[in-house]
A = this chain, B = another copy of it.
Amino acid sequence: MKITKLPDLEKIPVAMEGASGAWKQVPISRDHGSPMFSFRVFTLEPGGHTPFHGHDFEHLNYIIEGEGETVDAEGARKRVAQGDFVLVLPGEKHQYRNAGNGPFVFICAVPKEYE
């Protein structure tokens, strides 16, 4: 049982085009021997967001902290907050935006081939 404490992990700036004020940590991945799936954690600063994009794999998300918005393929926004789960299907365009005054932190699980 490999235990990882989030504050011990390096925060890497997200350099993808369309991302702003976004940081990544990777508590569970193939590098730890995970057979199929990885857990990344994204932190969005106030005003920060991920890219509005789609790809051929899914996201399984859990909101750890803060207030945010999802943006769906049609551009519709929905509020999400600590305790909410989100499933983004393969091919579905999506974005996460910080909608609060503090950090917005969420788990983004993906197949290990992607991270």
A interface residues with partner B (beta carbon < 8 Å):
1-7, 27-28, 32-37, 39, 57-58, 60, 62, 64, 70, 72, 78, 80, 83-90, 92, 94, 107, 109, 111
A90 to B28, CA, bound (A): 14
Query: In the assembly, how many copies of this chain are there?
Result: 2
Taking a contact as CB atoms closer than 8 A, the residue among B64, B86, B109 that contacts A37 in the complex is B109
- Whether the pair B33, A84 counts as a contact (CB closer than 8 A) is no
Main secondary structure of the interface of A (DSSP, over half): strand
Smallest Cβ-Cβ distance to A6: which chain B residue: B83
- Whether the pair A1, B36 counts as a contact (CB closer than 8 A) is no
Contacts of A62 in B (CB 8 A): 39, 62, 107
